[in-house]
């Protein structure tokens, strides 16, 4: 099984011509009845060997964490980061294995962040909350630096999302440090607002990557995919929390309708930018709201089944007719905006 990235590499390496690659894409699009630009292609598993290597790598990383934790505080994270880097030299740099590369990247950045945090947790610091928050900020900054170095070496698409996450965490921690954690009257609301703003910023960053590859034929599209996957929950969770879904205060017809309206807005955005991450991130909240609504009307035993039926059917229909619906929506947008969005997929004619 060959991925879109393999096809790009084959063209870059001169194995096949760009015309042959485009003909193959057109053939696959026609066979699937789905344009390539609407598929959101990204490579995760090429063969069972990817899973086999990932399991072995995770076992080794767990061993490194256990050994380091038994020797000294913070050493576990260091050993995990070092082991992840050296394994990436082979499985990422040479073998280009997708799933192991993702796991090793997360382990590398996570190890860098975990090491100083573990040291702080084991050290009896007689400092105020602002100093501790400042030290935590430095750990996230170190994670961002590690992600940047990893990107320069291996260029795994998910690395930019890891970099964005650590930068966002650094900025949020820095703002909390400047304000003073002990002076916040409602820390949860402040953090939610900061996470929401960071999510919007990451979404805008993802759109910059998307706009640089509107046909989705380069690595930039893969980078944008992971950035959208990161930004979506950071946007969806605060909104539905403010609507009262998390604490169960939004119930009844009005509450359920409000949730559906917000989800519909997410759907329109997802169609316009040709990314499904927002729909997936908000799905749990919609399922909960509809389940509560059916329960209020006396269908307690069937509430889960009816909710799954309604939402599942709607999403399947949307997926089946995604290109046509998206084409209709994008055609109604201003022309200057259309030129910045991913290309509307058009099925190639049969050969």
Model confidence pLDDT, tens digit, residues 253-297: 777 778 888 889 999 999 999 998 888 888 888 887 777 777 666
**Mean pLDDT of the 216-226 span:** 88
Chain mean pLDDT for the chain: 84
pLDDT for position 119? 86
Q: Please give the model's pTM, rounded to 2 decimal places.
A: 0.85
Q: Which two tokens stand for residue 149?
A: 């170095």
The CA-based dihedral angle spanning residues 15, 20, 25, 27, taken in that order and rounded to the nearest 10 degrees: -130
Report the chain's C-alpha Rg in angstroms. 23
**Within a 10 A sphere around the Cβ of 18, how many other Cβ atoms?**
11
Distance CA 232, CA 226 (A): 10
**Mean pLDDT of the 312-326 span:** 88
Model confidence pLDDT, tens digit, residues 154-166: 999 999 999 999 9
pLDDT at 133 over 70: yes
pLDDT for position 4? 60
pLDDT for position 249? 58
pLDDT for position 226? 94
What stretches of the chain show up as alpha helix (H) in DSSP?
4-12, 18-32, 48-71, 75-91, 98-122, 129-154, 158-179, 187-211, 219-242, 252-273, 277-281, 283-296, 303-320, 322-331, 335-338
> CB of 127 within 8 A of CB of 82?
no
Listed in sequence order, the residues at least 6 apart from 61 whose beta carbon sits closer than 8 Å to its beta carbon are: 80, 83, 84, 107
pLDDT at 7 over 70: no
Distance CA 62, CA 80 (A): 8
Distance CA 218, CA 216 (A): 6
Distance CA 57, CA 249 (A): 44
**What band does 232 get if pLDDT is binned at 50, 70 and 90?**
very high
pLDDT for position 129? 66
Distance CA 255, CA 244 (A): 9
| CA-closest candidate to residue 224, choices 242, 211, 233, 241 | 211
* 189 vs 18, more confident: 189
Listed in sequence order, the residues at least 6 apart from 182 whose beta carbon sits closer than 8 Å to its beta carbon are: 128, 129, 130
> CB of 111 within 8 A of CB of 147?
no
**What band does 350 get if pLDDT is binned at 50, 70 and 90?**
very low
**Mean pLDDT of the 197-202 span:** 97
| CA-closest candidate to residue 141, choices 118, 176, 175, 171 | 171
Distance CA 259, CA 275 (A): 20
Model confidence pLDDT, tens digit, residues 37-91: 556 666 677 788 999 999 999 999 999 999 999 999 999 999 999 999 999 999 9
């Amino acid at each position: 099984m060959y991925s879109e990235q393999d096809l790009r590499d084959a063209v870059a390496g001169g194995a096949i011509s760009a015309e042959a690659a485009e003909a193959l894409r057109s053939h696959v699009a026609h066979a699937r009845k789905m344009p390539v630009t609407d598929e959101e292609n990204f490579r995760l598993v090429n063969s069972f060997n990817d899973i086999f290597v990932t399991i072995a790598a995770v076992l080794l990383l767990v061993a490194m964490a256990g050994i380091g934790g038994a020797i000294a505080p913070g050493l576990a994270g260091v050993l995990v980061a070092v082991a992840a880097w050296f394994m990436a030299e082979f499985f990422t740099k040479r073998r280009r294995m997708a799933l192991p590369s993702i796991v090793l990247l997360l382990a590398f950045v996570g190890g860098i962040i975990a090491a100083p945090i573990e040291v702080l947790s084991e050290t009896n610091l007689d400092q105020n909350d602002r100093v501790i928050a400042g030290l935590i900020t430095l750990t996230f900054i170190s994670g961002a630096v590690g992600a940047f170095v990893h990107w320069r070496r291996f260029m795994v698409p998910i690395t930019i999302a890891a970099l964005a996450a650590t930068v966002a965490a650094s900025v949020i921690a820095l703002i909390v440090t400047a304000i003073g954690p002990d002076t916040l009257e409602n820390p949860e609301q402040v953090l939610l607002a900061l996470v929401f703003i960071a999510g919007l910023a990451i979404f805008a960053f993802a759109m910059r990557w998307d706009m640089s590859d509107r046909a989705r034929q380069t690595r930039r599209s893969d980078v944008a995919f992971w950035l959208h996957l990161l930004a979506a929950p950071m946007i969806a969770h605060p909104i539905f929390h403010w609507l009262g879904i998390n604490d169960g205060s939004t119930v009844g017809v009005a509450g359920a309708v409000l949730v559906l309206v917000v989800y519909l807005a997410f759907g329109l955005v997802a169609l316009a930018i040709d990314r499904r991450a927002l729909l997936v991130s908000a799905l749990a909240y919609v399922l909960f709201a509809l389940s509560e609504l059916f329960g209020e009307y006396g269908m307690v035993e069937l509430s889960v089944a009816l909710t799954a039926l309604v939402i599942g059917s709607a999403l399947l229909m949307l997926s089946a007719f995604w290109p046509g619906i998206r084409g209709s929506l994008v055609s109604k947008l201003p022309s200057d905006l259309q030129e910045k969005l991913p290309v509307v997929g058009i099925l190639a004619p049969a050969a």
